[in-house]
Amino acid sequence: MKPKLLLTRKIPEAAIERLRQHFELIVNPNDAPLSRAELIALVADVQAIICLLTDTIDTTVIDAAPHLKVISAYAVGYNNIDVKYATSKGIAVCNTAGVLTESTADLAWALIMATCRRITESEAFLRAGKFKAWEPMMMLGQDVYNKTLGILGMGRIGQAVAKRATGFGMRIIYYSSSPKELPFEAERVELDTLLREADILSLHAPLTPETKHLIGKAEIALMKPTATLINTARGAIVDEKALIAALADQRIFAAGFDVYEEEPHIPAALLALDNVVLLPHIGSASIATRTNMGFMAAENALAVIEGRKPLSQVNG
């Protein structure tokens, strides 16, 4: 008899087919997150869960799944999972570290270019019929070439973003808990220095109690008025209210976000701003990457069930 696995949301079909080869699948048939009651009801007999960041796998859910052996996150982040409690129950927690690095780095650069050069604002201007002639002062933005890129969190994705900056002749500085051996020139600095000197500040830290609101009113006040803030990491690293106030008062030039503090809720005041580019959490949204995430999540779950070492386990 195949072990039972709950897939909390549809993923690319190729990955689902691989799962069907090894598991009796319970698949959420709806294109929407499971309600808490639905999630608790569906985990009763499963040995494995593949979940999304939108699924809260806390003590109540874990206790409702007495046969559970593995929680496999279809994501790099796992702050939606009570890892400590899962560990105490002997449940492996896995993620898809490494699979989405390059796609997310590409998207961070899309946000860098879009914010600095006012791309989405310019397109909206044109589509609204406002482009009548070339003007010397129209849609002036910030250069990227030869500027200073600040990386907060020099992990896999932070390094991939920084590596791309070398092609733009940028000075690279970073803030990290420990120095990194890097294949390109970069200077490790204190957080205050990073904030003061970065023309573009790109966030790539995990969300922890220490990093929640790490970028708040005082930190934003240190940034250059010409600086741009990019967040493809976790929304709550930034105090959104403080950022909105700074953008509205033009104390920083622009911001580009793919993640939000209370996702999927986006504050109306943020939506109303012209100097911010807002994306619906699409950092890993390429066909190849999302499919490979599914393959890795499947392999992580199967490895634990079969007593093998998973590709990426966060609590073992």
Beta bridge partner(s), residue 278:
257
Q: Are 118 and 167 in contact (CB under 8 A)?
A: no
Catalytic residue check, 213? no
Q: Are 95 and 119 in contact (CB under 8 A)?
A: no
Catalytic residue check, 234? yes
Catalytic residue chosen out of the listed positions 164, 204, 234, 290:
234
Catalytic residue check, 188? no
Sorted by sequence, the CB contacts under 8 Å of residue 225 that are 6+ apart come out as 250, 251, 252, 253
| 88 phi, psi to nearest 5 deg | -65, -25
Strand order from edge to edge, sheet including 276-278: 187-188, 171-175, 148-152, 200-203, 228-231, 254-257, 276-278
What is the C-alpha separation between 147 and 199, in angstroms, rounded? 6
The three-state secondary structure class of 266 is coil
In the block, which residue shows the tokens 């986006």?
266
Catalytic residue chosen out of the listed positions 117, 171, 196, 263:
263
In the block, which residue shows the tokens 């496999």?
72
Q: What is the Cα 142 distance to its own chain's centre?
A: 25
What is the C-alpha separation between 70 and 81, in angstroms, rounded? 12
Q: What is the Cα 312 distance to its own chain's centre?
A: 17
Catalytic center residues: 234, 263, 281
